[in-house]
Amino acid sequence: DGEKALYEAAKKEKELTWYTAHYNSETAAAICQGFEKKYPGVKCNYIRTTAQVAYQRLAQDQKAGIAQASVISSTDQGHYTKMKQDGWLQPYKPKNLTELVDAFRSFNDPDDLFVATAAGLVLITYNTSVVSPSEAPKKWTDLTDPKWKNKVSIGHPGFSGYVGTWVVQMRKLYGWDYFKKLELNKPRIGRSINDTVTMLNAKESIVAAGPSATTLESRAKGNPLAVVYPEDGAVLMVSASGILKNAPAPNAAKLFMEYLLSREGNEVMVQQHQDPVNKHVKPMAGGKSIAEIKTIRPTPAEIEKGIPEVKEQFRETFGI
Amino acid sequence: MKDRSLLVWLLLIALLLLLVINPLARLLWASFEHPETGAFTLGNYAAAYGRWRNVEALINSLVVGLAAAGLCIVFGVPMAWAVSRTDMPGKGLVWAAVLGTFIMPNYLGAVAWILMAGPNAGWLNRIYTGLTGAAAGPFNIYSKAGLVLVIACYSFPYMFVFTRSALDLISSEMEDAASTLGASALRTTLRVTLPLALPAIMGAFIVEFLEAIALFGAPALIALPARFQVMTTMLWQMFEFPPRLQVAAAYSMPLLLITVFLFWLQYRLIARKGFVSLTGKGGERRMVRLGPWRWVLLGYCLFVTSLSFFVPMVVVLQAAFAKAWGRGFGWDNLTLRNLRFVLFDQTATRAATVNTFVYAAAASVIALGLALAIAYIVARRLVPLGRALTYVAMAPFVIPGIVLAIGFYAAYTAKPLVLYGTAWILILAFATRFLPIAYTNSDASLRSINPELEDAARILGGSRVLALRRVVAPLLKRGLAGAFILVFIPATRELSSAIFLYTTGTQVLSVLLFDKSDEGNFEVLASMGLILVVGTVALVLAGFRLVGRDFLLRRTAS
Amino acid sequence: MSRLVLSEVSRRFGSVTAVDRFSLSLAQGEFVSLLGPSGCGKTTTLRMIAGFLPPSAGTIEMDGRTISAPGSTVPPEKRNMSMIFQSYAIWPNMTVAENVAFGLEVRRLPKAEVRARVDKILDVVQMGQLGGRYPQELSGGQQQRVALARAIVVQPAVLLLDEPLSNLDANLREEMRYEIRRLHDEFHITTVYVTHDQAEAMVTSDRIAVMHQGRIEQVDAPRALYARPRTRFVAGFIGRTNFLDGEARGEAIVFDRFEIPRRAFADPEALRGRLSFSLRPQSIVLHRQPPGGAGPAAVVPGAVTQRAYLGEHWDYTVRPAESALALRVTARPHEVFEVGENVWLELDPRQMAPLLPE
Amino acid sequence: MSRLVLSEVSRRFGSVTAVDRFSLSLAQGEFVSLLGPSGCGKTTTLRMIAGFLPPSAGTIEMDGRTISAPGSTVPPEKRNMSMIFQSYAIWPNMTVAENVAFGLEVRRLPKAEVRARVDKILDVVQMGQLGGRYPQELSGGQQQRVALARAIVVQPAVLLLDEPLSNLDANLREEMRYEIRRLHDEFHITTVYVTHDQAEAMVTSDRIAVMHQGRIEQVDAPRALYARPRTRFVAGFIGRTNFLDGEARGEAIVFDRFEIPRRAFADPEALRGRLSFSLRPQSIVLHRQPPGGAGPAAVVPGAVTQRAYLGEHWDYTVRPAESALALRVTARPHEVFEVGENVWLELDPRQMAPLLPE
Ligand SMILES: Nc1ncnc2c1ncn2[C@@H]1O[C@H](COP(=O)(O)OP(=O)(O)OP(=O)(O)O)[C@@H](O)[C@H]1O
Ligand SMILES: Nc1ncnc2c1ncn2[C@@H]1O[C@H](COP(=O)(O)OP(=O)(O)OP(=O)(O)O)[C@@H](O)[C@H]1O
Ligand SMILES: [Mg+2]
Ligand SMILES: [Mg+2]
């Protein structure tokens, strides 16, 4: 069938390069290995960086007329809009799209230039050695409770698209007043959302708006952390991948997109403590599958428009 | 007829210009480029400096930089003096601790300090409240003072190594002349010995100041929670979507003026003064006898290295051997899993380690060779307007890595040097980025050599190049070995340019470490840090054996 | 063996003129000493000849080729010269033997020959045992000898010596001086020798150039310089001397309270108007009695006002009767006079050198 | 003004013994010179006195207090001494005036006085104009004068001088020597002076200690040392000399082909067996004719074999008839003999110093 033909064509291309910001290096390496195992003869090279670096590299490549990457996986919604505008992407509709978790479908590009391949959640997290499950906040508004004064940790929307999305969502739910109240608790503001994990482990803060995957991975090691799926909704992050128009290995790229959505691929992700996007693959222990919980999310348009706004508001309110 | 060596000098100058001007010119160009149209504009500068917030961040950076560099003098100079010129015991330990400080990834140090002096749960505060019953402790790492301390702890090794190499070359007769005139050991040190090392101290000060401005890691962890921005945190945001690369370039360019200003200042302060301590008439170095004071000095050295190394090391050890570091000390929490993971399981580590060391070593050799040659050209005025080369050689340091990386990327994916995808792009980027460290060191060291030592080689028929190789370099070898470390170690942990320039097969450790710090995977990070510290300290100490004996110490002194 | 010509060479450091229109021409294999007070520009001159400093004005030629001129200079390593530095400039990171071997290695001599020549020269400077020492394990004089050995072992065409023996004891200095001269004679090395020791300059040099404030005052063979100094400065600088101011009046030259017949002088016709003469202390003989025998000598009575015993001789100060002069006289150890004693001074007018007016 | 006593002081560097059981006691305000060949341990001795080096054995006392002993030494800054280093050791980062002022500032003198004293001493060393210069802008001799000025301006109790004038011209050297002695006399500074210039040691010192291979060979007043050297080494080292080996046979001392009556010597009774004498070149007089007058002098015929003109005197080598000896004779400039000429040597036996057997 089609997959076979793609594989044959990909073998002629020998290798593909994947610019990714979706996971850490080990996960990226594991996914590449899994891909190579499934499709011997096609080499998978990953360049794992932050989203901004990935985008800058791509931008410089485009400027210099270098065709290096075939697949790009950024976490920043804005990048895709811009890449689409600038015509850097080529359309492809993976066969495995049928197995995508339904909640993610709306993130796919109507023109098939990019599709959702990774997911994550922003949750309430806390240190279990200081906070008992019953005391722990249940919903986002609980974080503004004065009993957490000086003990809350959040990220900064100026440094992290993840945090930016969360802020946009909170503003959508409760208006900017939510953050004005939060400021009364003098939250510790870290750079990325992952900084909250460090803060909790150090007990410098004891509750936080944190990421699901990293918190659960740390918990899996035995650190005294736990997550709460807020009653008013866990904020869902979806990140897409796309194939570049000037991809040196377009067939291998397509094959790779298939793999990212495939069961095998998602099982590799789960082993690495990532949330799966394939609806047939179960999440890791300690977490719930996205289907089981209430998730909330802004639309891509809201994100794109909202993030620059909330950055300014955030600065107004928190002073940085 | 002209000096044949001139060709060599011109070639080296050309190389310098290629390495530095090529990427910087592209940034400069970008800073005047309209983001959309590409037309010439001053708008980027208006955007960068038209907002008080950005200016304020810059001021914060300057204040923190000055304070940190000042603190480095307080930390580094007495230690360098103690190790180089006194009979203080435990020098090996102190030297190892300084090395360890320098090698320890800066993120680990910062986290360790958060654990120690965090206002809510820091150990120091808990001890304080435990002892006094007070409600809160006095220490708050989340403050400008805290940031200054962390930066100083992390960068005082520059001061130590620079000053020590200079002090190593000063003949004891210079001090003897003062003490026979009745000056006490302290006065002799303050009035004679240290002023002779002034070029090195000032050089280190400049390096530290510039480094503090360009540093991102520690400020990101400490400045933001402390609710202030510095220049690099501002810059970082400019790369968030929608990226404003041109504004970032415009924001960084004025830093070059700061570099120029500092070197002009140094030039003025040094003026006509001489610092020749190797006169060509023998001269030896004897250790100052401190009597009971040597224990006081050792105490001070241990205090500083405790701040910078031993205490953070306790945190690192705890985390490296912990199943879950958040659970604190406990027998049931001990494991070797992290170390095993780093050493054996993590597939990428091995190749990345090899790459890291090879690239860093190659970059250090290039940087050191080039720096020594350029410093020599400047010092001996081999070409007209040589002083301008100083500014060129120093320029790469003050531009924050994230911005400079763009310049590198642009420079090496376009003519005349297309290196994209090769290891050379990383090596040259590292060499360029840390050239200023090597340059400052060479510049200071050269002042301590009587030019007649080279003259003597030349009149016997040796070219300048030979004189440099056979006389100058061996004379400075201990200092150069120190400079090598100062370039090598930062090169092993350089992230900003590495993450931009690496490709498959040229991955380096810093990128792996970044993952771990980015996701707060502290146990593995600590293990990697521990392995780095132990491995590199051992390597360096062994390496110093090979450098050979310290020729100013008499072999036969009693 | 090289001809070296310095023409109107000047060198300024900022506002200081260290060397001022210095002209000197050295024949092939000539041995010329530079003498002059401290700070008169000797080292600066050597450094220009060696090629370390370009002259501010003037040129230096070697074998007819311009090697130094304000704009362009042949680099030192191309000059086949060798120099001993006033600061020694021995390399502290090399042993004595390594220091000495350097120049030979640069010349790519075979290892065995390098070793042989190093050993030989170290024996010459009496440091044969110390080849393995580092400079900081040597005494000052030993260091200076390393510098000497290093410079002469390469047998250059031109040898430049900047006070090479200042830190050696008299015996060693004499031997080394002899060795330098021997090398010079054997290999016809054109040599420029800076020294403060006039005796040294006298015995070794073919010619001596006396410098003063950057300028050459007189260049002459040693004896001529001593016997016939042309200026007051040279006369005073080379050896000790007495200055006698007088005036030519008819057939006599009149001095302070005594006079000498004109015809007693070497060149009587040239003496006119106000005159100055230099007369060496050892050209005056003291007598207890008026000496007999006519001869051309002038005899003046006087009295001893001071004396000092300097080991090899007595140093007397004698005042001619009624005169304000104080003449220094050198006498042998056994010629003992007491202070205050009346003596007769015997002056030889032919040894009185007339000086150029200032 | 201090009494300094060195008792059996030794200093070893590894296997090298630089100073070997050195004993010397200096009276308050005494001026003692150390003379000796290069590498004999002079600098090492000074450095021990100054307190930079602890002795390996022996002690040094000052005013009755032990200041140096193998285990414990009083630090240099507590000794109220001052030293001029053979390497100058002037501070390159300070101007001439700052270098000189340092010691005064340490003594917390008022600013105005420091300035005045610095100005004065700079004038003394003839560097008044150069106070604002940095050392690397000075000539070698000027640097040495800075070192001199810096050491003497503080008027220490003990002044240690390590070849302080080696790079100065003869005139300047004489003036500086005079100044050092003047300071010494005025402030009764106990002074130890290392020099290679014997004339310098002769005129300035109260006593001279001659060192050889780390040991003292003889300590004596200058004239005594010169006139009555006790060992062959001292005789050969202090001034040039002739060695005459002979044997006491009855009433005559028999030399190589000539003899001198025993009673002609200063201490005739002491002469026994095989003997060596030292006779200075200037104690021999050359004559064209056999000199008249009896006197105690011995007259020996001979022939001139070599000669050299040294400006202040002639240096002849004369062989007594049929003898294998080659005697050096110093003569005045006007005493001209040709090589090969037959002459009469007049030797004064009272100036012949008997030497200790080796
Ligand atoms: N560190 C050392 N190791 C071995 N030998 C040494 C050391 N320092 C000095 N010496 C030797 O000790 C001896 C005495 O040295 P010192 O400097 O006292 O001589 P000096 O009399 O001052 O000679 P000079 O007149 O040449 O200056 C010399 O032979 C020297 O080589
Ligand atoms: N860099 C400089 N700047 C200013 N003046 C200088 C510099 N170098 C030398 N001079 C001056 O030039 C003059 C000549 O110096 P030079 O070293 O040639 O003297 P010299 O004859 O060798 O004296 P000495 O016998 O003392 O060694 C001196 O007066 C010195 O002060
Ligand atoms: Mg000189
Ligand atoms: Mg000495």
Which residue is listed with tokens 């597939």? B347
Give the dihedral sign, CA C115/C118/C123/C129. Answer: negative
Flag if B460 and C154 touch (Cβ within 8 Å). yes
Q: Is the pLDDT of residue B347 over 90?
A: no
Cα(D152)–Cα(C208) distance, integer angstroms = 34
Stretch D164-188: mean pLDDT, rounded?
Answer: 89
Report how many helices (DSSP H) and strands (DSSP E) chain C contains, helices first. Answer: 8, 20
- Which residue, among B510, B89, B523, B164, has the nearest Cα to B334 in the 3D structure? B523
**What is the number of other CB atoms lying within 10 angstroms of the CB of residue D349?**
20
Cα(A74)–Cα(A238) distance, integer angstroms = 10
Ligand 2 neighbourhood includes D137 CB (under 6 angstroms): yes
Q: How far is the CA of D42 from the CAs of A293, B555, C90, C141, in angstroms?
A: 94, 21, 21, 11
- Which residue, among B198, B196, B175, has the nearest Cα to B187 in the 3D structure? B175
Q: Lowest mean pLDDT of C67-71, C263-267, D203-207, name the range.
A: C263-267
Per-residue burial over C162-197, b if 16 or more Cβ lie within 10 Å, else e, is bbbbbbbbbebbbebbebbbebbeeeebbbbbbbbb
- Residues of chain D found within 8 Å of residue B171, distances taken between Cβ atoms: 87, 89
Q: Which residues contact D224 (CB under 8 A, 6 or more apart)?
A: none
- Which residue, among B383, B473, B399, has the nearest Cα to B435 in the 3D structure? B399
Which of B120, B327, B346 comes nearest A223 by C-beta?
Answer: B327
Stretch B101-125: mean pLDDT, rounded?
Answer: 86
By CB neighbour count within 10 A (0-12 exposed, 13-18 middle, 19+ buried), where does B222 fall? buried
User: pLDDT band for position C294 (50/70/90)?
Assistant: low
D207-212 vs D215-220, strand pairing mode: antiparallel
DSSP states of C99-155: HHHHHHHHTT--HHHHHHHHHHHHHHTT-GGGTT--GGGS-HHHHHHHHHHHHHTT-
Amino acid at C177: R
Q: Which of residues 260-289 of B touch D (CB under 8 A)?
A: 272-277, 279, 281-283, 286, 289
Cα(B67)–Cα(B84) distance, integer angstroms = 25
Confidence (pLDDT) at C293: 63
Query: Which of ligand 1's atoms lies nearest the C-alpha of C136?
Result: 1
Distance of CA D221 to the CA centre of its chain: 11
Ranked by mean pLDDT, the top range of B31-35, B78-82, B538-542, C290-294 is B78-82
Confidence (pLDDT) at B1: 38
Confidence (pLDDT) at B554: 65
CA of D41 to the centre of ligand 1 (A): 6
Which residue is listed with tokens 């909790």? A200
- Which residue, among C91, C83, C81, C196, has the nearest Cα to C143 in the 3D structure? C91
A230 SS3 class = coil
Confidence (pLDDT) at A172: 94
Q: Are A15 and A43 spatial neighbours (Cβ–Cβ below 8 Å)?
A: yes
Q: Is the pLDDT of residue B236 over 90?
A: no
Q: Lowest mean pLDDT of B329-338, C12-21, C37-46, C154-163, name the range.
A: B329-338
Confidence (pLDDT) at C35: 92
Q: What is the pLDDT of residues D72-127, one digit of tens each?
A: 889 998 898 999 998 899 999 999 999 999 999 999 999 999 999 999 999 999 99
Q: Which two tokens stand for residue A96?
A: 């495995």
Stretch B75-86: mean pLDDT, rounded?
Answer: 95
Proportion of chain B in helix, strand, coil states, percent, rounded to 5: 75, 0, 25
User: pLDDT band for position A139 (50/70/90)?
Assistant: very high
CA of D137 to the centre of ligand 2 (A): 7
Q: How far is the CA of D23 from the CAs of A31, B35, B144, B310, D3, in angstroms?
A: 87, 87, 65, 53, 14
Stretch A71-93: mean pLDDT, rounded?
Answer: 91
Q: Are B200 and B445 spatial neighbours (Cβ–Cβ below 8 Å)?
A: yes
Q: Are D346 and D299 spatial neighbours (Cβ–Cβ below 8 Å)?
A: yes
DSSP designation for B40 = B
- The neighbours of chain B, by the rule of 3 or more Cβ pairs under 8 Å, are A, C, D
Q: What is the pLDDT of residues B286-345, one digit of tens each?
A: 888 888 999 999 999 999 999 999 988 988 898 889 888 888 778 888 888 888 888 887
- Residues of chain B found within 8 Å of residue A159, distances taken between Cβ atoms: 220, 224, 233, 236-237, 240
Tally C–D CB contacts below 8 A: 149
Flag if A68 and B420 touch (Cβ within 8 Å). yes
The whole-angstrom distance between C156's CA and the closest CA on chain B is 9
B519 SS3 class = coil
Radius of gyration of chain C (CA): 24
Flag if D83 and B177 touch (Cβ within 8 Å). yes
End-to-end CA distance of chain B: 53
Average pLDDT, chain D: 89
Flag if D52 and B172 touch (Cβ within 8 Å). yes
Q: What is the pLDDT of residues B407-447, one digit of tens each?
A: 998 888 877 778 888 899 999 999 999 999 999 999 988 98
Q: Which two tokens stand for residue D254?
A: 């028999």
Q: Which listed ligand is nearest to C44 at the C-alpha? A: 2
Ligand 1 neighbourhood includes D178 CB (under 6 angstroms): no
Cα(D228)–Cα(D231) distance, integer angstroms = 9
To probe the interface with B, which of C106, C114, C138, C144 has the most B CB atoms within 10 Å? C106
Q: Is the pLDDT of residue C162 over 90?
A: yes
Using alpha carbons only, give the angle B62, B64, B65 rounded to the nearest 5 degrees.
60
Q: Which of residues 535-554 of B touch D (CB under 8 A)?
A: 554
- Residues of chain C found within 8 Å of residue D236, distances taken between Cβ atoms: 171
Cα(A269)–Cα(B389) distance, integer angstroms = 52
CA of C196 to the centre of ligand 3 (A): 10
**What is the number of other CB atoms lying within 10 angstroms of the CB of residue A24?**
23
Q: Is the pLDDT of residue D264 over 90?
A: no
Confidence (pLDDT) at B332: 83
Cα(C101)–Cα(C115) distance, integer angstroms = 8
Stretch D55-76: mean pLDDT, rounded?
Answer: 91
Q: What is the pLDDT of residues B4-15, one digit of tens each?
A: 678 888 999 999
C242-249 vs C65-68, strand pairing mode: unpaired
Using alpha carbons only, give the angle A90, A95, A99 rounded to the nearest 5 degrees.
120
Confidence (pLDDT) at B558: 41
Stretch D154-166: mean pLDDT, rounded?
Answer: 92
Ligand 1 neighbourhood includes D168 CB (under 6 angstroms): no
Amino acid at C12: R
| Beta bridge partner(s), residue A237 | A120
Q: Which residue of B554, B555, B558 sits with most ligand 1 atoms within 8 Å of its CB, as the best mutation to test the pocket?
A: B554
Flag if D239 and C163 touch (Cβ within 8 Å). no
Cα(C257)–Cα(A61) distance, integer angstroms = 104
Q: Which of residues 39-98 of D touch B (CB under 8 A)?
A: 50-52, 54, 56, 75-77, 79-83, 85-87, 89-94
Cα(C224)–Cα(C207) distance, integer angstroms = 9
Closest CA to ligand 1's atom 31: C138
Stretch C127-140: mean pLDDT, rounded?
Answer: 91
- Which residue, among D138, D163, B280, has the nearest Cα to C88 in the 3D structure? B280
- Residues of chain C found within 8 Å of residue D222, distances taken between Cβ atoms: 309, 311
User: pLDDT band for position C273 (50/70/90)?
Assistant: confident
ipTM attached to this prediction: 0.87
CA of C213 to the centre of ligand 2 (A): 10
Cα(D177)–Cα(A233) distance, integer angstroms = 99
Flag if D82 and B181 touch (Cβ within 8 Å). yes
Average pLDDT, chain B: 88
Flag if D167 and C163 touch (Cβ within 8 Å). yes
Q: Which two tokens stand for residue A216?
A: 């659960």
Q: How far is the CA of C181 from the CAs of C42, C101, C120, C161, C176, in angstroms?
A: 20, 22, 17, 12, 9
Flag if B227 and A189 touch (Cβ within 8 Å). yes
Instruction: Please report, to the nearest 10 degrees, the dihedral formed by the alpha carbons of residues C309, C313, C314, C319 taken in order.
Output: -150
Closest CA to ligand 2's atom 29: C39
- Which residue, among A126, A125, A91, has the nearest Cα to A111 in the 3D structure? A91
Flag if A68 and B523 touch (Cβ within 8 Å). no
D274-279 vs D353-354, strand pairing mode: antiparallel
Confidence (pLDDT) at D294: 59
Distance of CA A301 to the CA centre of its chain: 17
Confidence (pLDDT) at B374: 93
Amino acid at A22: H
Ligand 2 neighbourhood includes C44 CB (under 6 angstroms): yes
For D352, phi then psi, to 5°, come to -90, 115
The whole-angstrom distance between B277's CA and the closest CA on chain D is 8
- Which residue, among D347, D305, D302, has the nearest Cα to D321 in the 3D structure? D302
B198 and chain D in contact, CB less than 8 A: yes
Stretch C284-311: mean pLDDT, rounded?
Answer: 80
Cα(D188)–Cα(A313) distance, integer angstroms = 85
Q: Which of residues 336-365 of B touch A (CB under 8 A)?
A: 346-348
Cα(A73)–Cα(A106) distance, integer angstroms = 17
Flag if B177 and D77 touch (Cβ within 8 Å). no
Confidence (pLDDT) at C141: 93
Q: Lowest mean pLDDT of B25-29, B410-414, C35-39, C92-96, name the range.
A: B410-414
